[in-house]
Structure 1
Amino acid sequence: MRQFYIFIKCELGKTYDVASALVDTLEETRQVHSVSGAFDLLAQFAVDSEADIGRFVNLKVQTISGVKDTQTIICFNAFTRDRGLGD
């Protein structure tokens, strides 16, 4: 699985609608957080290793009603308590 995050800027008054759509309609959605700053939401996704992340963002996320802008962050490694730097 490939993990990635997307910062999402929403149209005014649409943040909760976009968050609900991400959680309710996309099985790849892991978590959605409302955040402060330049973006309204930070969403975590997981897709198959062979998946085209750019196409996923373009066709599944950016087409949700109320999404104004996105910024994608692709993850390389996950460091957790059970899998640190030495593993």
Structure 2
Amino acid sequence: MQTFFIFVSCRRGQTYTVGRAILKEVPGVKEVSSISGKWDLLVQLAVDEARDVGELINERLAAIEGIRKTKTLVAYYVYNPEDVFF
């Protein structure tokens, strides 16, 4: 699995509606968080490496009404406290 974090900016008053729509319309979404600052939502997406993430972001996510813009980050490695030995 490949993990992506997507920052989402919503139209004014649309944050909750957009968050629920992302959970419903985009396969592989693990979590949607409302955040403060420049962006309104942070989406965690886990995609099988055989799946085209571009299709999910550019077609499924972009089709959701109320999204102004997005920024996608790729996560490469997960640091797990259980894997750290002292």
Q: TM-score, normalised by structure 2?
A: 0.89
Superposed CA RMSD: 1.4
Which residue of 1 is the match for residue 51 of structure 2?
Answer: 51
* 8 Å Cα contact 2:8/2:41 also seen in 1: yes
Code of the aligned partner of 1:80: N
* Uncovered stretches (5+) of structure 1, i.e. residues with no partner: none
Question: Aligned equivalents of 1:39 and 1:62: distance in 2?
Answer: 16
TM-score (norm 1): 0.88
Structure 1 equivalent of residue 69 of structure 2: 69
Give the 3 Å change call, closer, same or farther, for CA 24–55 of structure 1 in structure 2: closer
Equivalent residue number for residue 40 of structure 1: 40
Partner of 1:5 in structure 2? Answer: 5
Write the letter of the residue equivalent to 2:71.
Answer: Q
Deviation string, structure 1 residues 10-58 (Cα, Å, up to 9, x no partner): 0111100000011123231100000111110000011111222223210
Structure 1 CA distance for aligned equivalents of residues 82 and 50 of structure 2? 26
Q: Structure 1 stretches (4+) deviating beyond 4 angstroms? A: none
Q: Tell me the distance in 1 between the aligned counterparts of 2:3 and 2:33.
A: 16
2:79 counterpart residue number: 79
Structure 1 residue identity aligned to 2:8: I
Query: Aligned to 2:83, what secondary structure does the other structure show?
Result: coil
Q: Residue 25 of structure 2 contacts residue 61 of structure 2 at CA under 8 Å; is this kept in 1?
A: no
SS in 1 for 2:31: strand
